[in-house]
Structure 1
Amino acid sequence: MDSSFPSYVTDILLPCLLIFAIMLPKGMCALRVHCNEKDHNLLLNFKHTVTDRSHILSSWSHEQHCCEWVGVQCDNITGRVTELSLPCSPELSANTCEYDKVNCLAGELHLSSLQLEFLNYLDLRNHDFQAVTLNDCPHSCENINSSNLLYLDLSYNEDLHFDHLHWLSIFPSLERVNLSGINLQGKVDWIQLPTLLPSIKELRFDSCQLRNINPFLQYVNLTSLEFIGLSDNSFSSLLPVWLFNLSDLTFIDLSYNNFQDQFPKGLLNLQKLQTLYLKHNKLVGSIPVWLGQLEHLQEVDVTENLFSGPIPSTLGNLTSLTHLRVSSNHLGGSLPESLGQLLNLGVLEFDDNHLTGHVCERNFANLSKLTVLSVGSPGLIFEFDSLWIPPFQLEQVGLSYVVGPNLPTWLYTQTSLALLQITYSSFSLESQDKFWDLVAQVPRLYLTYNTIVADISNVLLNSTDVRLYSNQIRGTLPRLSPNVVWFNAKNNSFHGSLSPLLCQNMNERSQLIYLVLSDNFLSGELTDCWTNWKSLAIISLSNNNLAGTIPRSLSFLSNFTVLHLNKNNLLGELPLSLKNCQNLQDLDVGENKLSGYIPYWIGHNARVLRLRSNQFSGTIPPQICQLTTLIVLDFAENNIFGSIPPCLHNMKAMAFPRSSELSSICITSQGVVYKIIVSAMLHIKGQEWFYEGNLRFMRSIDLSSNNLSGMIPPDLYSLFELLSLKLSHNRFEGNIPKEIGNLKQLESLDLANNLLSGEIPQSIAQLSFLEVLDLSFNNFSGKIPLGTQLQGFAAQSYIGNPELCGVPLPKNCADQNDMKPVEENDNQENEFLLSFYMGLGVGFAIAFWGVCGAIFFNRNFRCSYFRFLYHIRDKLYVLMVLKMNRFR
């Protein structure tokens, strides 16, 4: 450059040229770069080896070069593929509350498709791959040039399986691996993975069903590991020693396991640790004071363990701490004031412990960044100044064990609340309009298990999610705004009609999907205003005093999934219009006064059908066999007659495992997914049980106390998953076939008060899970089969069968067996004596007639015979004369 140029021009021009030189390749190459041909072909090969049901890879074609394909990123200069990011977003199924992966990739994951030499990022999470295939490498898999791969995420491919993890060694540069949600049960080599991946920094094995963690292993070659996630597995040992020898760890998540140990002192070695999650375990002992020496700690969560002792005041030294959760333990003592020094604290939860003393504004005066607060224990006393204004604005607040006429006044200064939860407290809301004004702006309002003095008849509830159950609230029902999606007010003291709530005038369409008012004192008829609530999916009005008939307007609820009307005084028949509710899964109208025939129109999605304790009559319709998803069938205590339909083998949910798992229902409203836990009240094992989350495992048939007759159909014994079978108090005939031994899962069997006969089959002893057995008052005969289970039941299980014997009955089968040989001997002896006496008679007759014949037909014998008689006569005469002379 000419030196005549002014220096200021040079100073301006050179930086501009430098910036242009930097920007030029980036801009121009973005227009000119083309995908490497080898990478292009490898990606097309990957496309052809997978099943693409939703055409996710439709842009992968020869019409575009691969750098423009969905999920593919290339180097701007070389055109080589560096990233393949294709995570799937499965849709949530409303029926099962599980993710439906019909729109995700499936098939086998072929490693030959991963021979992209410059690939450093691979994300295929949430798809539906079934296997990692190793045998399709063109040469040896060890020769695959994949040394650049740094990040691998195959998480939540739930059906993905492989025999070992050694195939990961073909990516020696891996730093981050996520295999969460994949079943690795029995894959004990997971702990050896670091020897295959010397550069590993992050391991995620959450929800992998792992069991073995080698707790006493002293050392594992994980010197570079910074992040380890092992939550939601099946560990039940002590905490692993080797884990606390990894000095570079910054993140540990061992939550949702069954670890049983104390706080390991080895944590002191982890001076870089920032996050420690140990929640939902069985850890004991105290939280150590030396925990305050880990100065880099930002998050600590030990919720739901068995920790005792005080909360250490040394935690106030952790100036970087942002999250502290110690709820649901057995911690005692007072709340340390030193926690008020944690100026960066955003989440503080210490409720559900055994804390004592006072909690007041001094504990929170400096916590200006606090957004989540959960506080309360039975012995903790709230003592806040009524004029105190907190330095924080909370998003979530949980208060428990508040005792007093009023709630803390500082609560009304919180204008950003998204969740307000108050439990196990006692307070009054009479004439507290400011409380209802406050919660009107709170999306989630949870007031549960309280003693609340309040009449909320005139209150308009506006929160999206309102849970007011178990509070002893009195008065008539409140009104709901169209914004309310979830309303649960069960187990209170509400009385009066449903009309104030359901028949109100609304200018907007209601969003309500969940309505539960069970266990109150509601009366009157079921209103006919259901057409105003077409979004409703769950209705539970059980255990009230409702009367009248079931209105037809219920059939207009197209999203109808659950209907519980049991334990009321309802009359009439089930309206035929309910057959329009094809989404109905759970119908419970038991313990009413309903009549008519058993409905044949129940939708094919039904899983719980409970009509017990009514006045239904007629026969069981054969259409019941079409309910392939049914897991609970209860028609007990009605007037049903006829026989059981011989088609029960079609009820597949009771025959095959995992064919129907009713645990929850997911419903989406305004972009929010609500997970609803399905519940049912069932008569099982002679008692009434409430099933909620565990309803998914139940398989039950109860047809007891009717007028059913005929043979028990053989199909019934093909329902292999059946847990409870009750057919008592009917008129069933025939015997119990040996196929009953097929019901291996059976826990309760009641066939009492029938006309069953024959011997009890030996195969019934194979029912090793049997807890309840009642075969009383039938016509069974013979010996009770030997088996630990059968002899363990009381005699009441077998009484009323006169011909039945054996333990535990007092009638001994051995006595009967001994009597049979005696009777046989007596018969043999009688036959011998009869033959003997007959022989004597015949012999006497032959001898008599032989002598007579000789006397009459032989003269010499006759003369000799009479001379013999005369001789005997003379001897007897002389003998008598001598005897008489002696007495003289």
Structure 2
Amino acid sequence: MIIGEHLYLLVAVVTLILCVEMKAALGSFTTSGAGDDAKVRCIERERHALLQFKEGISYDYGLLSSWGSTKEMKDCCKWRGVQCNNITGHVVTLDLRASLGWYNNYQHLKGEISPSLLELQHLKYLDLSCNDFEGRHIPEFIGSFTRLRYLNLSNANVVGKVPNQIGNLSKLRSLDLDQGIENNGSLYVKNLEWLSHLSLLRYLDLSRVDLSKAIDWMEAINKLPLLTEFHLIECRLSVVISPSLPLINSSASLVVLDLSGNSLTSSIYSWLFNFSTTHLDFSSNQLEGGIPKSFGNLNSLRILYLGYNELTGKISEFLQILSRVAEKSLEILDLTANRVGGSLPDNISTFSSLKALYLEENQLSGPLPGTLGQLRNLISLYLANNQLIGTLPKCIGQLSMLESLDVAVNFLEGPIPLVLPNVTYLDLSSNKFSGSISFLCSTINENLRFFDLSDNHLSGKLPDCWMHMKELVVFDLANNNLFGKIPQSLGFLTQVQTLHLRKNNFIGELPPSLKNCRNLLVIDVGENKLSGHIPEWIGTHLTSLIVLSLRLNKFQGYIPPNICHLNSIQILDLSQNSISGIIPHCFNNFTTMVSRNKLENLIFYDFTGHDGSYYFGRYIDSALVLWKGQEYKYQTTLGLVRSIDLSSNSLVGKFPKEISSLAELVSLNLSRNSLTGHVIQKIGELKMLESLDLSRNQLSGEIPTDITRLNFLGVLDLSNNNLSGKIPSSTQLQSFYTSAYAGNHELCGLPLPNKCPGDETTLDPSVTNRVKTTSIKEMRMGL
């Protein structure tokens, strides 16, 4: 009876306390006006805390425009990114992840994480990812949000030590601190003991957090029994496996394990094989040797990334081990850039669930198996940069799901028998394929976006069916034996950005329909037999061009002045044609050559599948630049090159002074024309110039002393003009071979052997010997 009375009193007291707290809480709510139903709104102190947080943001791109103190903005539960509990009114969610606005404008917060957020003690979800907190530390008070279940501070530009106080968040289910490529290593951890307190954690991403000193990372992970997805990408991990390390048994919950981009060796295997992982990424590590038989324990394996390691052995051995446990389940196998050899076995077709096979950059040899056509679910097949021989099996055309095929840089030959109606990405370049490409017209492929058959032995005319391929972005048929006229239907490729037709035998004019391809960034039709005038529509319609190469054709007439509308042009090559007239005086309109802008070093395109779920690869564009008779291919640094080549034409008139405005120009070649007048006096304004060739013209007068300001000049040729006077003195100008100044009979001074009038010093014998040696060397080189 006494116990019952005490229990009754206890219940009464608790009820009274709850009522008092609820009344106090309700007293702080604002309610609707008379006649409206009472409605819970945000708590005043929490609203004030959020406004204080906003004050710490220096710029918000309008993301916090709904946050305010006016009557219509007073309810913080209606603010962007804020969510309140429907009953208590407490803020439980703060989701301020940055977003993409109109035209992919990156909209983010910039400033600091204010301690005022401490007032939000009922917070369960906090996402501040992809913002810019300007290199500040993660505040330790984050560890005070003890109700927090989701925390995301990824790509937020925070630095320093990850606070151990995060270990206080015992209810946390998801933690993401990935700092992205730009801030790689900006965060660091000395040990991960605090992580073991997060026993409810299911998702963990510490990618690009420096864990080089956290040798206990494996022990910490072993203490997270509910962890299902785990990412430690580029964390500078080391492997220290203690004999006393408790290994997780095969019933562990881990499904996704991503340890790519570290320096892990094969010693990691003994820890790895105690998981029942279905998605494993060990790419870009230091794994070596053959695939261990222990892989046969991964009986739920669906996705396996082992690319960019030092793995060896035969591909048949890899597949045999995997077939024991994953023959019917394996969807993705990536062994890119290893040293795996041997031939692809016929029984690869037994992997019936396979969707993507990445084996490029290995040592595979032999022919392709004729059973490939049985891989009915295959979406991506990458076999580039191997030593494959034989023909392309007709059965590949039976892969109705195939969207991406790359067999570039092999020794495959014969005709191309493909009929691939769904392919998006097709790269057959750098092989020995022959015959025509008429197969393109045998089926309508409206999905094709990447098409590269360059560097083969293809012949015949270019098909006239491009009106069916309006999604094409990259089109490369360079270095083949194609002939005939370029068809008008190319004008239907309104999305095309790269057009490479170099080194073929095309004739006639550039089709006027190409002016419809307004997205073009690169046109290279050099080394053909094209004729006619340089079309004026290039300057009026294709104003986004970065590379224009019409080199080594039969173009004639003058350079149209409206070519100066190409404000983004970086490489302009009209050399080795029959172009006459003067050089337009508007080249200073080439904005990209005048001042450095924010262009990427690369000109590239990323390709994905129809639904975006599969990444097919990145195409890095390239261009050829001729320096001193040699071709240089620029690819990864293409965005840094600025070049003008008008050599070997019939141009007349003076050297345009406007060219001196092109301060970012790297290479200028006006040789083998009939230019007259003086070398421009302000040539030193071309401060980035590395190569200058003005040879074989009719230039006269002295070499301007301003040329000594060209500190990066590595190639110079002023030979065979009518230049006179003394060669200006500078360390560079005297270091060039005599051939750079030869054929200017009134030119004198070093490095030439003839002294200028008034020079009294005797020529240094070592210079004389060098001149003689140089002359012999040049004779041997055929100069």
Q: Could you state the TM-score of these two structures normalised by the residue count of structure 1?
A: 0.66
Identity level (%): 34
Aligned partner of residue 315 in structure 1, secondary structure: helix
Tell me if structure 1 keeps the 8 A contact 2:281–2:305.
yes
Residue by residue, what CA displacement relative to the aligned partner does 1:103-142 show, whole Å, maximum 9, x if unpaired?
A: x467x65878x85663369xxxxxxxxxxxxxxxxxxxxx
AA matched with 2:120: L
**Cα deviation, residue 498, structure 1:** 2.1
Residue by residue, what CA displacement relative to the aligned partner does 1:552-599 show, whole Å, maximum 9, x if unpaired?
A: 111122222221111111111112222122122211111011111112
For 1:168 and 1:357, the matched residues in 2 are separated by 51
Counterpart of 1:408 in structure 2 is: 345
For 1:747 and 1:183, the matched residues in 2 are separated by 38
Counterpart of 2:8 in structure 1 is: none
For 1:808 and 1:321, the matched residues in 2 are separated by 74
For 1:366 and 1:582, the matched residues in 2 are separated by 50
Counterpart of 1:705 in structure 2 is: 648
Counterpart of 2:441 in structure 1 is: 503
Tell me if structure 2 keeps the 8 A contact 1:332–1:354.
yes
Residue by residue, what CA displacement relative to the aligned partner does 1:492-531 show, whole Å, maximum 9, x if unpaired?
A: 22222222x222144xx62112211111122121222222
For 2:485 and 2:67, the matched residues in 1 are separated by 56
Tell me if structure 1 keeps the 8 A contact 2:328–2:353.
no
**Cα deviation, residue 74, structure 1:** 1.2
Describe the shift of the 1:42–1:735 C-alpha distance in structure 2 as closer, same or farther (beyond 3 A): farther
Aligned partner of residue 383 in structure 2, secondary structure: strand
Describe the shift of the 1:351–1:85 C-alpha distance in structure 2 as closer, same or farther (beyond 3 A): closer
AA matched with 1:531: M
Counterpart of 1:609 in structure 2 is: 548
For 1:352 and 1:276, the matched residues in 2 are separated by 18
For 1:527 and 1:794, the matched residues in 2 are separated by 50
Q: Do residues 755 (structure 1) and 693 (structure 2) align?
A: no
**Cα deviation, residue 618, structure 1:** 1.2
**Cα deviation, residue 612, structure 1:** 0.3
**Cα deviation, residue 747, structure 1:** 2.3
Q: Do residues 349 (structure 1) and 306 (structure 2) align?
A: yes
Provide the aligned length of Structure 1 versus Structure 2: 689
Counterpart of 2:128 in structure 1 is: 153
Aligned match for 1:491, one of 430, 444, 463: 430
Tell me if structure 1 keeps the 8 A contact 2:721–2:744.
yes
Residue by residue, what CA displacement relative to the aligned partner does 1:344-386 show, whole Å, maximum 9, x if unpaired?
A: 7663627752645997489837973x5xxxxxxxxxxxxxxxx
**Cα deviation, residue 78, structure 1:** 3.6
Aligned match for 2:582, one of 643, 663, 685: 643
Counterpart of 1:272 in structure 2 is: 220
Describe the shift of the 1:497–1:332 C-alpha distance in structure 2 as closer, same or farther (beyond 3 A): closer
Counterpart of 1:207 in structure 2 is: 181
Describe the shift of the 1:681–1:314 C-alpha distance in structure 2 as closer, same or farther (beyond 3 A): closer
**Cα deviation, residue 754, structure 1:** 1.9
Q: Do residues 717 (structure 1) and 660 (structure 2) align?
A: yes
For 1:251 and 1:295, the matched residues in 2 are separated by 21
Counterpart of 2:105 in structure 1 is: 101
Aligned match for 1:547, one of 471, 478, 483: 483
Q: Do residues 90 (structure 1) and 30 (structure 2) align?
A: no
Aligned match for 1:620, one of 559, 564, 580: 559
Describe the shift of the 1:785–1:478 C-alpha distance in structure 2 as closer, same or farther (beyond 3 A): same
Tell me if structure 1 keeps the 8 A contact 2:177–2:207.
no
AA matched with 1:695: L
Describe the shift of the 1:497–1:767 C-alpha distance in structure 2 as closer, same or farther (beyond 3 A): same
Aligned partner of residue 357 in structure 2, secondary structure: strand
Matches within 5 A, 1:159-174: 160=132, 162=134, 165=136, 168=139, 173=144
Greater alpha carbon shift after TM alignment, 522-531 vs 741-750: 741-750
Counterpart of 2:119 in structure 1 is: 118
Structure with greater Cα Rg: 1
Unaligned runs of 5+ in 1: 1-16, 94-99, 122-147, 185-189, 228-248, 258-262, 371-389, 820-888
Describe the shift of the 1:120–1:802 C-alpha distance in structure 2 as closer, same or farther (beyond 3 A): farther
AA matched with 2:219: Q
Greater alpha carbon shift after TM alignment, 466-475 vs 455-464: 455-464
Q: Could you state the TM-score of these two structures normalised by the residue count of structure 2?
A: 0.74
For 1:712 and 1:658, the matched residues in 2 are separated by 26
Counterpart of 2:332 in structure 1 is: 395
Aligned partner of residue 653 in structure 2, secondary structure: strand
Greater alpha carbon shift after TM alignment, 67-76 vs 51-60: 51-60
Matches within 5 A, 1:123-138: none
For 1:120 and 1:773, the matched residues in 2 are separated by 71
Counterpart of 1:81 in structure 2 is: 91
For 1:560 and 1:31, the matched residues in 2 are separated by 60
AA matched with 1:778: N
For 2:74 and 2:187, the matched residues in 1 are separated by 48
Matches within 5 A, 1:440-455: 440-448=376-384, 449-455=386-392
Tell me if structure 1 keeps the 8 A contact 2:644–2:668.
yes
Describe the shift of the 1:764–1:725 C-alpha distance in structure 2 as closer, same or farther (beyond 3 A): same
For 2:392 and 2:298, the matched residues in 1 are separated by 41
Aligned match for 2:373, one of 427, 436, 442: 436
For 1:731 and 1:315, the matched residues in 2 are separated by 74
For 1:366 and 1:549, the matched residues in 2 are separated by 52
Counterpart of 2:728 in structure 1 is: 785
Describe the shift of the 1:436–1:169 C-alpha distance in structure 2 as closer, same or farther (beyond 3 A): closer
Describe the shift of the 1:291–1:167 C-alpha distance in structure 2 as closer, same or farther (beyond 3 A): closer
Aligned match for 1:67, one of 55, 77, 86: 77
Aligned match for 1:577, one of 492, 513, 517: 513
Tell me if structure 2 keeps the 8 A contact 1:287–1:311.
no
**Cα deviation, residue 715, structure 1:** 2.2
Tell me if structure 2 keeps the 8 A contact 1:607–1:632.
yes
Counterpart of 2:684 in structure 1 is: 741
Counterpart of 1:530 in structure 2 is: 466
**Cα deviation, residue 295, structure 1:** 3.6
Describe the shift of the 1:348–1:109 C-alpha distance in structure 2 as closer, same or farther (beyond 3 A): closer
Unaligned runs of 5+ in 2: 1-14, 24-30, 32-36, 170-174, 198-202, 223-229, 763-783
Aligned match for 1:562, one of 490, 498, 501: 498
Aligned partner of residue 596 in structure 1, secondary structure: strand
Aligned partner of residue 537 in structure 2, secondary structure: coil
AA matched with 2:119: F
For 2:654 and 2:564, the matched residues in 1 are separated by 17
Describe the shift of the 1:510–1:339 C-alpha distance in structure 2 as closer, same or farther (beyond 3 A): closer
AA matched with 1:629: S
For 1:325 and 1:657, the matched residues in 2 are separated by 40
Tell me if structure 1 keeps the 8 A contact 2:668–2:692.
yes
AA matched with 1:119: L
Counterpart of 1:599 in structure 2 is: 535
Counterpart of 2:410 in structure 1 is: 471
Aligned partner of residue 654 in structure 1, secondary structure: helix
Tell me if structure 2 keeps the 8 A contact 1:455–1:474.
yes
For 1:203 and 1:781, the matched residues in 2 are separated by 67
Aligned partner of residue 554 in structure 1, secondary structure: helix
**Cα deviation, residue 725, structure 1:** 1.5
Aligned partner of residue 776 in structure 1, secondary structure: coil
For 2:315 and 2:599, the matched residues in 1 are separated by 51
Describe the shift of the 1:818–1:70 C-alpha distance in structure 2 as closer, same or farther (beyond 3 A): closer
Residue by residue, what CA displacement relative to the aligned partner does 1:211-254 show, whole Å, maximum 9, x if unpaired?
A: 8899xxxx969874789xxxxxxxxxxxxxxxxxxxxx987544
**Cα deviation, residue 609, structure 1:** 0.7
Describe the shift of the 1:348–1:150 C-alpha distance in structure 2 as closer, same or farther (beyond 3 A): closer
Describe the shift of the 1:101–1:724 C-alpha distance in structure 2 as closer, same or farther (beyond 3 A): same
For 1:530 and 1:350, the matched residues in 2 are separated by 36
Q: Do residues 35 (structure 1) and 42 (structure 2) align?
A: yes
**Cα deviation, residue 458, structure 1:** 7.8
Q: Do residues 320 (structure 1) and 275 (structure 2) align?
A: yes
Counterpart of 2:354 in structure 1 is: 417
